[in-house]
Amino acid sequence: MAPLTIQQATKSFGEVQVLHGIDISIDDGEFVVLVGPSGCGKSTLLRLIAGLEDISTGSILIDGRDISRSHPKDRDIAMVFQSYALYPHMTVAENMGFSLRMRGATMDEQHRKVHEAAGILDLEPLLDRYPRQLSGGQRQRVAMGRAIVRDPKVFLFDEPLSNLDAKLRVQMRAEIRSLHKSLETTIVYVTHDQIEAMTMADKIVVMRGGYVEQIGSPMAVYDAPANVFVAGFIGSPAMNLLKGRIGSDRQSFDLDAGGVLQFDSVLNARPHQPVILGVRPEYVKISDGGSAAVVKLIEPTGADLHVMLDIAGTKLTAVYHERLTLEEGQEVRLAIPTDHVHLFDPENETRIVGN
Amino acid sequence: MVRWQHGLWLFFLPSFGLLAVVLLWPLGYAVYLSFFDYYLGSGERTFVGLANYIDLLTEARLWNSMWTTIIIAFGSVALEFLVGFALALALYRLNGSAKVFSVLLFLPHIVTPVVAALFLKWMLASNWGFIDATLLTFNIEPADWLGSPVWAKVSVILADAWVFTPLVMMVLYAALQGLDTSLLEAAQIDGASSWNTLRHVIIPALIPAIIFVISIRLMDVFRFFDLIYVLTGGGPGTATETITMYTYQLGFRMLEVGKASALGVITLIVVAILLLTINRGLNKAYRGGDR
């Protein structure tokens, strides 16, 4: 258990700079998820924290101690790898006890700690098995067990659920979450799956192209994305992002592709100002009055209804929890609550706050 | 489970036929001949039962050549394995331009063993050979590399290692390429030193490749002939006379074909037992957990 601070961290591989001045401060016991598309530098950042890559400039502090140049084993961290990285010729117990053994712990201590961790993760019956005899989910748990045995200050997870099937992933998500609750250890967790990020994190760090785009609680990031990238990346189905201009009465929005969206109160921007207007699919409501649209495609997912709408050539996705009786080709009227509209500057794609 | 269709065995016939002609038939014939007193000079064959085997097993020359073979085989395979593994690990750590380097290391293996042996013979020739000439300029009295019983064995071992270390290196290097690097990283985080990583992670992961390379090298070195034939001809005396050299002497010098066949069969059995033992031992070490 310890706070983790990353200050102005950069990383270059030869000429290519993959991380640009990363600043993140993580509180003691916080569950932080680094999320972003592949190639955004999230895994590299995790490997910098682990010490598997050398930091180029900047520093990383665990519990106030600068560990940016320490050997991985001296950083008091434990890591769960995407491929689990279990030693194939060792039993589950040997795998879990390996770090203790390398540190010269007595057999008694190894035995006690391995059984302790195995108890937490229900691994007791598997201790004498080899990794090849385990299912994917069990291997995943062993990999976590190996990390727990270390009793580290910080846990690092590198896309640990990406090799599991969808059902198991949901189950392990909850398990990791409850494990964090009981251990109260600082966790840095890397994923490209924004659902994982939303459901598990205390704090999300959204990354792109080696830069941090936004840091905040899942709901804060969801409700107030800092820029167009975050707006489009977090949330599924993705936020509708429409290019156009604010109307002269500030209660309408003229789409660049043609067509108009009507609102019931004023938008938070100047008349005729060019903006990117963002609205989450769940706030595209069907009403008696408002903007005209045509239903193009209906996708029932069981719980929800995903509807693709068309406003004079511009596509708009809507999600309804009610079972609406819609037909493809049907004309509808849309009402979008103004307080759920996000406005972004089309120049630098950042959020427009106030006026 | 793979489900075999009826009639599929027909596809197996051509290759089996070929194997039968080039492998099983000569082998069977050798076993057959080993029960005869068959001197090639007279062309007469008389069935003698196990007499050839009894003769061979009771004479000192066979045991002498057996020991020589074992010393040379284990000496050179051990040397090839240690040096080859070290080179493979070094190569694994290097990258980029190191790939060119690996090709250079492979050169001795590309040369035909007989040519390599001739080359080494000139290197090792007394007084005017490269090694002696170099040592003499430093006023160091060189040993009789090919003429003294002990040095002749050492020279033969080194010669075999020179030719075959690159092969061992390449096989182990290829196996290292297939190693999951996250295992090494996990070991690093777990606090394993380089030595412990090697012992507890790398070597266990390479066991299949190690079994393979040691097996083929041992098999090969028990048939070790060309290098010795050129370098020492089995001498001085019988100091470097391996089983194959002795078989050659029996068959092609003394023309005792029956006895030579019997020796061939004995060699086959010895090698088979040896390989099975080593295989089992390494496999057991691999499967038996890590302590």
The per-residue pLDDT for range A29-85, each reduced to its tens digit, is 999 999 999 989 999 999 999 999 999 999 999 998 999 999 998 999 999 999 999
How far, in Å, CA of B172 to CA of B206, rounded?
A: 8
The superfamily in CATH containing domain B48-289 is MetI-like (1.10.3720.10)
Q: Given B185, B196, B289, which is nearest A91 (Cβ)?
A: B289
**Which of B211, B214, B233, B231 minimizes the C-alpha distance to B222?**
B214
Bridge partner residues of A306 (DSSP) = A299, A319
Query: Does B1 have pLDDT greater than 80?
Result: no
Token duo for residue B249: 């002497």
| pLDDT tens for each residue of B101-153 | 777 778 888 888 788 888 888 888 777 778 877 888 888 777 777 777 888 88
Average pLDDT, integer, range A144-170:
90
Which one of B183, B188, B189 would you mutate to disrupt binding with A, by most A Cβ within 10 Å of its Cβ?
B189
Query: Does B237 have pLDDT greater than 80?
Result: no
The verdict on a CB contact (< 8 Å) between B190 and A91 is no
**Whole-complex ipTM:** 0.83
pLDDT of residue A18: 93
Query: Does A355 have pLDDT greater than 50?
Result: no
Pinpoint the alpha helices (H) of chain B: 12-19, 25-33, 51-58, 60-93, 98-110, 113-124, 130-137, 149-177, 181-189, 194-197, 203-222, 226-231, 243-248, 257-287
- Establish if A85 touches chain B: CB-CB under 8 angstroms: yes
pLDDT grade, residue A126 (50/70/90)? very high
Q: Given A72, A78, A102, which is nearest B196 (Cβ)?
A: A102
Average pLDDT, integer, range A247-256:
90
Average pLDDT, integer, range B182-191:
92
Looking up tokens 């037909």 gives A327
- Between B113-124 and B130-137, two packed helices, what is the crossing angle to 10 degrees? 30
- Establish if A99 touches chain B: CB-CB under 8 angstroms: yes
Token duo for residue A304: 């929800």
Token duo for residue B285: 């070490």
pLDDT grade, residue A1 (50/70/90)? low
pLDDT of residue A345: 93
Interface of B with A (CB under 8 A): 180, 182-183, 185-193, 196, 200-201, 204-205, 207, 286-287, 289-291
Please state, for a pLDDT cut of 70, what percent of chain A lies above it.
Answer: 99
**Reduced DSSP (H G I as helix, E B as strand, rest coil) percent helix, strand, coil of chain A, to 5:** 30, 35, 40
How far, in Å, CA of A161 to CA of A83, rounded?
A: 9
Predicted TM-score (pTM) of this structure: 0.81
Token duo for residue A320: 């309804």
Contact A202, A32 (CB under 8 A): yes
Could you tell me which chain A residue has the CA closest to the CA of B179? A85
Could you tell me which chain B residue has the CA closest to the CA of A94? B290
Contact A72, A51 (CB under 8 A): yes
Query: Does A283 have pLDDT greater than 60?
Result: yes
Euclidean distance between the first and final Cα of chain A, in Å?
43
The DSSP line for A100-158 is HHHTT--HHHHHHHHHHHHHHTT-GGGTTS-GGGS-HHHHHHHHHHHHHHH--SEEEEE
pLDDT of residue B286: 67
pLDDT of residue A208: 94
Element housing A45 (H / E): helix A42-50
| pLDDT tens for each residue of A220-242 | 999 999 999 999 999 889 999 99
Angstroms from A75 CA to nearest CA on chain B: 9
Range of weakest confidence among A16-20, A134-138, B120-124: B120-124
How far, in Å, CA of B120 to CA of B112, rounded?
A: 12
Could you tell me which chain A residue has the CA closest to the CA of B202? A87
Q: Given A73, A88, A94, which is nearest B189 (Cβ)?
A: A73
Set of chain A residues whose Cβ sits within 8 Å of the Cβ of B186: 79, 81, 85, 87, 146
Set of chain B residues whose Cβ sits within 8 Å of the Cβ of A90: 200, 289-290
pLDDT of residue B291: 47
Angstroms from B275 CA to nearest CA on chain A: 22
**Which of A24, A29, A27, A28 minimizes the C-alpha distance to A49?**
A24
Query: Does A120 have pLDDT greater than 60?
Result: yes
| pLDDT tens for each residue of A58-72 | 999 999 899 999 999
Query: For chain B, what is the mean pLDDT?
Result: 84
Could you tell me which chain B residue has the CA closest to the CA of A76? B189
Q: Given B180, B189, B290, which is nearest A90 (Cβ)?
A: B290
Angstroms from A161 CA to nearest CA on chain B: 16
Query: Does B91 have pLDDT greater than 60?
Result: yes
Angstroms from B286 CA to nearest CA on chain A: 7
Contact A279, A269 (CB under 8 A): no
Set of chain A residues whose Cβ sits within 8 Å of the Cβ of B190: 73, 98-99, 102, 146, 150
Residue A58 CB neighbours (<10 A):
17
| pLDDT tens for each residue of A175-196 | 899 999 988 899 999 999 999 9
- Establish if A81 touches chain B: CB-CB under 8 angstroms: yes
Q: Fill in the DSSP letter of residue A350.
A: B
pLDDT of residue B98: 66
Average pLDDT, integer, range A126-139:
91
How far, in Å, CA of A84 to CA of A20, rounded?
A: 29
Q: Fill in the DSSP letter of residue B250.
A: I
| pLDDT tens for each residue of A295-342 | 999 999 988 999 999 998 899 999 999 888 888 999 999 989 998 999
How far, in Å, CA of B241 to CA of B59, rounded?
A: 15
List all residues of chain A from 45 to 64 with a beta carbon under 8 Å from chain B. 50-52
Cβ-Cβ contacts under 8 Å for B174 (sequence gap 6 or more): B209
| pLDDT tens for each residue of B249-287 | 888 888 888 888 988 899 889 888 988 888 888 777 766
